[in-house]
């Protein structure tokens, strides 16, 4: 097979952002204010600074309020929690995102647990993980929810399909498996202790790779006609004369193309979905907090 479709996450995310932007005025008319997203950045990690700046820009572009809080790396745990509590109590804030990882010495879990679950737009609070596991309405981590949107756009109904999720992190693998189960897939979760991973992956109609190991999933691990979501982002060593190495996913894409029906590229696949879904979660959280119906199509 050589007709693999490249799933254009960049275009899908741009469309989603447009739809959110169009839905914001309706919320604003009903609530008398725009949805608000607060992002907290502690320290000066360069990658985190880039993410926070992109989130700010995207929030403003969607017509929402963006509240940025930058704290020094030596911020005390109690002061960070106090800020989160202040944001919990602020009615103009619908979503709270504390950019991870936090500098050493700060307890990430305790900080996430301090966030009001109804404002937890990253979906990392145990209450949201529990709601998702119970099949209830939940704020869901952005990357897996974005991955599910791409899968549904590609395949339509996922019911009855065999899905293999490689990776079991709280951020990606576990919520991904729950979302696929919610779509009536038969879900297998694989991880570093899985025996004969290639054979497990070969059974899958849907493969989601969220491992963080460059091009680990080989072309001949994939069943003909499978649909592959490559969540991994790995930077290879630079080629001679180059300053930075290429970005690749967890799947050996060019080999995979001979087998699969469709695959997300890296970059330009799942990556752009994350911020778009963050905006979606903020709009959905804002509507729920105002007692409004979930905006149509979200």
Q: Is the peptide bond before 37 cis (omega within 30 degrees of 0)?
A: no
| Whether 178 is catalytic | no
Part of the chain binding ligand NDP (CB under 6 A), chosen from 20-28, 30-38, 205-213, 283-291: 205-213
Enclosing H/E stretch for 67: strand 65-71
CB atoms within 10 A of CB 129: 21
Please name the residue that has the structure tokens 């929402």: 64
- DSSP annotation of 188 reads E
**The binder of ligand NDP chosen from 232, 257, 264, 285 (CB under 6 A):** 232
| CB-CB contact of 26 with 169 (8 Å) | no
Part of the chain binding ligand NDP (CB under 6 A), chosen from 26-34, 62-70, 162-170, 257-265: 162-170
Our finding on whether 231 is near ligand NDP (CB under 6 A) is: yes
Our finding on whether 169 is near ligand NDP (CB under 6 A) is: yes
| Whether 122 is catalytic | yes
Active-site hit among 94, 99, 120, 230: 99
| DSSP three-state, residue 117 | helix
Active-site hit among 94, 119, 120, 122: 122
Q: Can you tell me the distance from the alpha carbon of 5 to that of 110, in angstroms, rounded to the nearest whole number?
A: 42
- DSSP annotation of 1 reads -
| Whether 258 is catalytic | no
| Complex with ligand NDP: residue 173 or 295, whichever CB lies closer | 173
* Chain residues in the site for ligand NDP (CB under 6 A): 143, 166-169, 171-173, 190-194, 197, 210-213, 231-234, 270-271, 274
| Catalytic residue set | 55, 99, 122
């Amino acid at each position: 097979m050589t007709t693999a479709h490249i799933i254009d996450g960049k275009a899908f995310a741009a469309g989603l952002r447009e739809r959110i932007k169009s839905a914001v005025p309706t919320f604003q008319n009903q609530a008398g204010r725009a949805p608000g997203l607060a992002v907290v950045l502690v320290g000066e990690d360069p990658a985190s600074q880039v993410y926070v700046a992109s989130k700010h820009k995207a929030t403003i572009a969607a017509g929402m309020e963006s509240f940025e809080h930058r704290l020094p790396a030596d911020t005390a745990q109690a002061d960070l929690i106090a800020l989160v509590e202040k944001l919990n109590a602020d009615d103009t804030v619908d979503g709270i995102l504390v950019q991870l990882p936090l500098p050493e010495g700060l307890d990430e879990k305790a900080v996430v647990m301090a966030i009001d679950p109804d404002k937890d737009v990253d979906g990392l609070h145990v209450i949201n993980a529990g709601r998702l596991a119970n099949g209830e309405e939940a704020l869901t981590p952005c990357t897996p929810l974005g991955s599910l949107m791409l899968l549904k756009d590609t395949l339509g109904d996922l019911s009855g399909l065999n899905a293999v999720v490689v990776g079991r992190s709280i951020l990606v693998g576990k919520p991904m498996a729950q979302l696929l189960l919610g779509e009536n897939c038969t879900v297998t979760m694989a991880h570093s202790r899985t025996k004969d991973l290639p054979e497990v992956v070969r059974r899958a109609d849907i493969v989601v790779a969220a491992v963080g190991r460059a091009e680990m999933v080989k072309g001949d691990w994939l069943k003909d006609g499978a649909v592959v979501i490559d969540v991994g982002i790995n930077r290879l060593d630079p080629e001679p004369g180059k300053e930075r190495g290429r970005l690749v996913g967890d799947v050996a894409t060019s080999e995979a193309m001979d087998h699969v029906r469709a695959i997300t590229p890296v970059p330009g696949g799942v990556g752009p979905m994350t911020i778009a879904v963050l905006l979606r979660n903020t709009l959905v959280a804002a509507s729920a907090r105002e007692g409004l119906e979930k905006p149509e199509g979200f």
